[in-house]
Amino acid sequence: MRENKVVCREMDCGNPVAESRGPLIEDGRRGVRLFGCRRDESSIRQCGIIGGPGFCDGGYYHHVICSESVRLVGGAGLCSGRVEVKSNQSWASVCEADFDRQDAEVVCGELGCGAPAALQGGLYGEGEGQTWDKEFQCKGKESLLLDCDTSDRENNTCLPGNAVGLTCSEPDDVRLVGGGSHCAGGVEWYDQGEWRTVGTLSDVMSIAVVVCRQLGCGSTVSVLPGNTTRGFGVSCSGSEPSLRECIRTNDLRPVLTVICSESVRLVDGAGLCSGRVEVKSYQSWASVCEADFDRQDAEVVCRDVGCGAPAALQGGLYGEGEGQTWDKEFQCKGKESLLLDCDTSDRKNKTCLPGNAVGLTCSGKKQFVIQSTLFLTWSEEYERQYRCVLVRK
């Protein structure tokens, strides 16, 4: 949740680790309700605050646990960024030479994220302050980074470009159930020791995009709200890397069923039906070279992701991918339901020159069946149930 990040920053703690809801831990009536945090605010007072003493129902006070000694800075979400460690009441970046895979496993675990996915110096820029003066020697099983042994650094300097950046995989706290595959079904979120059904507060497509992204699936193909109101409410902008960074409440909302394409996605386009074509290969995503992809292939992809006919097909149209390039040439006939149903052959040219990652724009908009009762009018009752945050110094 974006508000958690702002609260931890203002308290000069690390990253958010956990959250819960309930009555005040101590006596007092200092609750306020927040909305609209962007995550870059330095204080919760910049997020737009309404309410005051007595405004919030006691069961909705929001409790946040922040990591006290380590944080990830400058990344797209809570699970990526430059590694910084708290040292003498200030934050210090860590040199790449002093930080290895086992250290990364401890940091990712401490922050409530998944396993390390990328570890590289300069990945998220340079820190403005000091550099940590020890080498970490974690075994990978410690709960906290500061539980690890350390030793004096072999080199007393850390050259520019070597502040270590870390990307952890998103936490394994979201799943789709009852749809027959990992990438289809009703949305459930693991929260406080149990799997809970997810409903929707607002734009169902934005929630679906976040779910498909977090699960490592492809583009969103279809979304269908259920007929019962038994899921706790969630509202996303669509840019969040994981569902836990979205806004949520404890009031019940129509449950949500999401179907993602499992093997193909369109990335960096203006909407769900345009972007750079990427294919899943060995649990990672690979861009496709323009020379290996034609109009018939495009027809299958547009169908696979639930869009209309191809409208534009061009190399470099939506930028270059950061990862690998797909090493086969597609040979679709245009009638297949899925891209991976198409035949392939070895590529004639082993290299794909810069500017040739194929971009695709499909015509038409996705059509979804949305219940008329799904979107509720903002009301005073809804404001009372929305969310309250307790802040103490």
191 and 237 in a common domain = yes
The whole-number pLDDT of residue 59 equals: 52
Task: Please give the C-alpha separations between residue 41 and each of 59, 120, 206, in angstroms, as whole numbers.
Answer: 26, 27, 23
357 and 277 in a common domain = yes
244 and 190 in a common domain = yes
245 and 294 in a common domain = no
The whole-number pLDDT of residue 78 equals: 82
358 and 277 in a common domain = yes
Positive or negative, the Cα torsion across 332, 333, 338, 340?
negative
Identify whether 383 is part of a domain.
no
The whole-number pLDDT of residue 50 equals: 47
- Give the domain CATH number at 57: 3.10.250.10
Identify whether 374 is part of a domain.
no
The whole-number pLDDT of residue 44 equals: 67
pTM of the model: 0.64
- Counting every residue written for the chain, the total comes to 393
Identify whether 268 is part of a domain.
no
Identify whether 13 is part of a domain.
yes
DSSP string for residues in 145-199? GGGSEEEE-SSS---TT-BEEEEEPPPS-EEEEEEEETTEEEEEEEETTEEEEBB
223 and 184 in a common domain = yes
Beta-bridged to residue 135, according to DSSP, are: 151
Identify whether 373 is part of a domain.
no
The whole-number pLDDT of residue 294 equals: 96
Whole-angstrom distance, CA of residue 386 vs CA of residue 50: 12
185 and 130 in a common domain = no
Please tell me the total count of domains within the chain.
Answer: 4
Q: Of 168, 198, 218, which one is at a domain's C-terminal end? A: 168
Identify whether 219 is part of a domain.
yes
333 and 290 in a common domain = yes
Identify whether 31 is part of a domain.
yes
Q: Given strand 16-22, what is the order of strands in its sheet?
A: 16-22, 61-66, 388-390, 31-34, 49-50
Contact (Cβ atoms closer than 8 angstroms) between residue 183 and residue 176: yes
250 and 192 in a common domain = yes
226 and 180 in a common domain = yes
Q: Of 134, 152, 168, which one is at a domain's C-terminal end? A: 168
Identify whether 201 is part of a domain.
yes
343 and 279 in a common domain = yes
pLDDT, tens digit only, all 393 positions of the chain: 567 777 777 776 766 766 665 555 554 444 555 555 666 677 766 776 544 444 455 555 566 777 678 999 998 888 899 999 987 788 899 999 999 999 999 999 998 888 998 999 999 998 888 899 899 999 999 988 989 999 988 777 888 899 999 999 888 889 999 888 889 999 998 877 789 899 876 678 889 999 998 998 888 888 876 666 678 888 888 888 888 888 877 677 888 889 998 889 999 988 889 999 999 877 788 999 999 999 999 999 999 988 899 999 999 999 988 778 998 999 999 999 889 889 999 887 778 888 999 999 998 754 443 333 333 222 333 333 333 333 332
Q: Of 141, 168, 195, which one is at a domain's C-terminal end? A: 168
297 and 250 in a common domain = no
Nearest to 219 by CA among 286, 338, 304, 326: 304
The whole-number pLDDT of residue 391 equals: 34
Domain of 18, in residue numbers: 2-68
